[in-house]
Chain A
Amino acid sequence: MAAAAPAIEVPTPREPASVKILAFVAKAPVQIVLVVLGALWLVPTLGLLITSILPAGDLASHGWWQIFSHPSRATWSNYDALFHNHGLLDALKTTAYIAVGNTLIVVVIAALAGYALAWLDFPGRDWLFIAIVGMLVVPLQMALIPMFRLYNTFGLYDSVLGIMLFHVAFGLPFAVFLLRNFFVGLPKDILESARIDGANEVVIFLRLILPLGLPAIASLAIFQFLWTWNDLIVALTFGQNTTPITVWIFGQLREFGTSIDVIAPASFISLVVPLAVFFAFQRYFVQGLLAGSVK
C-alpha cells in the first residue's frame, strides 16, 4: 500500500529509551483499537474458511469455532465432493471464460480509445470524452430490461458471449476514462520525437504507449477481472443454464441450513481467486482505485 505512505521520511534523531517507552505507552490505546478492528475485519473470512472444512453434521449444533477445541473434525471431504460436482466445475469454467474474455476485450478497446482520445486530434474529441465521463455513473440496471429483450431477439440470451458483451459495455466507460487520463500524463516530447523520427501511430502505440502505460493497463485489467468474476446481477439476468459461480451458489442458497457444506466451500473457492489476484497485484489495485476516484 505504498500510495498511502508519507511522501518524505524524515530521519529521526536517536531518542533515549525512556522517551521511547513513553511514546509506546501513549500509542497503546490506538494499537489496541486497531488490533480489535483488524480482528473484526479478518474473522468473517476466517469463519467462512473454517466452516468450509467442517462436516455439515457438526455445523448444525456447533459454530465453526469448535475447530479450536476439536481440530480433528476438519476434513477435506466438502472440497473433495465439490471437485467431483460437475455443476460447480462448469460454473467455474463459465466464470473464467466470462472474466478473462471480458478483460481482454475491454483492455484492447480501451487502450486504443484512450490513445486516440489522449493524443489524436479529431473533431468532437472532447465531447466524446465528456460523454464517456457522463456514462461512468449510469447504473447498469438501466440497461437490463432493454438488453434482455434485445438478447432474446438476437439469440444471445443464456450465452457466455451475451453476458460478456454486457460486461464489456458497462466496463468500457471507466476503462477508457482511466487509460485516457493516464496516457495524457505521459511526457509529450517522447511522442513528438517519435513522430519526427517517422514512426507512424501504430508503432507509437505499440512501442511507446503500451510499455509506458503498463501500470494503468495492469490495474484496469485487474479491476475488470474482479468485477466480472464477482458479478451476480448480470449473469442472473442473462443466463439460465450459463451459470457462473455466483449464480450457481445462489441456486443453492434456498437450502442454506442443510447445504452449508456445499455453500461455504463453493463461496470460498469463488473468493480465493479474487484474493489471489488482489495479493499478487495489490499495488496496481490501489493505484487504479485512487485514479478512478480522486482524479
Chain B
Amino acid sequence: MTAFGLLFAVLTERVRWAVAFKTVVFLPMAISAFATGVTWRIMYQQDPSVGAVNALGRVVSEAVSAPGVLSSALPSVTALQQQGGGLVLKTPLHPGSVALLGLTGIPPDQVPKSAKQAVQPKPKPGDVVGTVWRDFKPGGGKPGVVEQAEQGLPGVTVELRETTGKVVQSTKTNDDGTFDFSNVGAGSFNAGIGAATFAKPFGGYAWLGPKLITPSLLAAYIWIWAGFAMVVLGAGLSALPRDVLEAARTDGATEWQTFRRVTVPLLAPTISVVFITMIINVLKVFDIVLSLAPESVQSNANVIALAMWRTAFEGGGNYGVGSAIAVFLFLLVLPVLALNVRRFRRET
C-alpha cells in the first residue's frame, strides 16, 4: 500500500490533471469499508458474465486462445476415444473408408446455427470421407448411425493422422457435417478431432473462494487506502527542498537515481509514518472481511479483529477468550503507542 501511494504521488507530480486523478483515487477513503466490501463482492463474482474481474479475465483468455465450438461434447461410440484433449477414431481407415465421428452431450443452443441434416457420405476411392454429427435426436436414436433428424456439425476441424499420431491432413466439416480428405496415400490412418474444438470456455477464477479470498481482500484494501498514502506522501514530496533535487539532476543523475538516492531517503520519515498507520489499520481490519467474504469462506480469511468478535459475540459468547484476543491485539500496537508517546515527550 505504501508502495502504491508513493508510486501515485510521484507519478501525479508530472501531469496537469493531477487534481482530478487524486480525487478519484482518494474517493474510496470516504466510503465505509463495509460498502467497499459489497462493491468488490459484485466485482469478484465468479461467473464471467456477471463478475467484472472475471469478465476481464475472459476477454484476455479468449484473446489468447478461443474456446472450442463444442466444449461439452462427448463421443457417442466406444471406438471414438479421448486422446490428448481431443477425440480419435480407433478403427483404422484406408483410402476409400468412411469415418463416422458421432458426438453427443451437445446442448441444442451450442449446435452451430448453420447446421443441417447430417449426411453419411458415399465412399470415394482414394479419399477418406466421413461425417461429424450430433448423434442424438429427440427420442434417442441409435448410436453410431446417421439417422433422420440428426444434425451435422459444421466448422469442426478434423485431422487425418498416421498411426504414429502425425497429422497428415486437416479440414473443416461442411454444414451437413461431412468432410473429405482427398488423395490419401496407401496405408492405415486414424481420423481425429483436435483438442481446440473441445477447449472449455474460461470459467472464471473463484476470487471469493477459500484459496483466493486473501489476495482479493488485499486488492480491495489497497483500493481503499492507496489514496491516503498518496495524499500524505504527496504532501511530503512537495515539502522536499527543491534545490537538492535540482542539484542531483544537474550532477547528471537519472530520474531513477534521483528517486532512489535523494527522494526516498529525504522522504523516509513520512514513509515510515504512512507505513505505521497502515500496519495499525490492517491489524484492525474487520468490516471488509464481513462484507466481502461470503460466510462460508470467512474462516479462511480470519483476522484478529474478526476472530475476537466471533469468539465473544457470535454463537459461543466466550468472553474470556475474546478478551484475550483483544489484549493480544493491543500488545501488537503497543510499540507504536510507545513510539508516539516518546515523540511527544521530546517535543514538549
Contacts and interface: CB of A to CB of B under 8 A. Distances in A.
Contacts of A229: 32
Nearest to A231: B32
A193 to B, nearest CB: 25
B15 interface: yes
Interface residues of B, number: 85
B207 to A, nearest CB: 13
A137 B333 contact: yes
A260 B119 CA distance: 49
Contact of A250 (B28, B49, B290, B305): B290
Contacts of A214: none
Interface in B6-61: 8-9, 11-15, 18-36, 38-43, 49-52, 55
Contacts, number: 230
A133 B341 contact: yes
Given A44-B223, A145-B323, A270-B35, A63 B55 contact: yes
Given A30-B15, A48-B39, A226-B30, A65 B55 contact: yes
Nearest to B295: A254
A81 interface: no
A45 B39 contact: yes
A286 interface: yes
A264 B42 contact: yes
B283 interface: yes
Interface string B306-346: 00110011000001001101110110010011001100110
Interface residues of A, number: 78
Contacts of A8: 242
A47 interface: yes
Given A130-B341, A137-B280, A141-B305, A232 B38 contact: no
A141 B344 contact: no
Contact of B340 (A33, A134, A140, A226): A134
Contacts of B287: 232-233, 246
Contacts of A231: 32
Given A41-B24, A61-B50, A232-B286, A138 B319 contact: no
B211 to A, nearest CB: 19
Given A34-B12, A48-B39, A139-B305, A286 B231 contact: yes
Interface stretch (B105-113, B147-155, B269-277): B269-277
B327 A142 contact: yes
Q: At the interface, is chain A mostly helix, strand, loop or mixed?
A: helix
A212 interface: no
Interface string A226-247: 1001111100110000000010
Interface in A125-150: 126, 129-130, 133-134, 136-142, 144-146, 148-149
Contacts of B234: 1, 3-4
Given A44-B223, A232-B32, A294-B273, A129 B24 contact: no
Contacts of A232: 32-34, 286-287, 290-291
Q: At the interface, is chain B mostly helix, strand, loop or mixed?
A: helix
Contacts of B29: 278, 289
A149 B313 CA distance: 11
Contacts of A4: 9, 12, 18, 22, 231, 234-235, 237-238
A139 B329 contact: yes
Contact of B283 (A31, A64, A139): A139
Nearest to B292: A253
A188 B35 CA distance: 44
A92 B15 CA distance: 40
Interface of A: 1, 3-8, 27, 30-31, 33-34, 37-38, 41-45, 47-48, 51, 59-65, 126, 129-130, 133-134, 136-142, 144-146, 148-149, 226, 229-233, 236-237, 246, 249-250, 253-254, 256, 260, 263-264, 267-268, 270-271, 274-275, 277-278, 282, 285-286, 289-290, 293-294
19 contacts: A4-B237, A33-B11, A38-B24, A44-B36, A45-B28, A48-B38, A48-B39, A64-B42, A134-B341, A226-B30, A231-B32, A232-B33, A232-B287, A237-B309, A249-B38, A256-B41, A275-B27, A275-B31, A294-B273
Given A145-B326, A232-B32, A270-B32, 9 more contacts: A1-B23, A3-B231, A44-B43, A61-B49, A61-B50, A133-B340, A148-B312, A232-B34, A282-B23
Interface of B: 8-9, 11-15, 18-36, 38-43, 49-52, 55, 223, 226-228, 231-232, 234-239, 242, 270, 273-274, 277, 280, 283-284, 286-287, 290-291, 294-295, 304-305, 308-309, 312-313, 319, 322-323, 325-327, 329-330, 333, 336-337, 340-341, 344-345, 348
The 9 closest A-B pairs by CB, nearest first: A230-B32, A4-B234, A278-B30, A232-B287, A267-B38, A274-B30, A271-B35, A48-B39, A271-B31
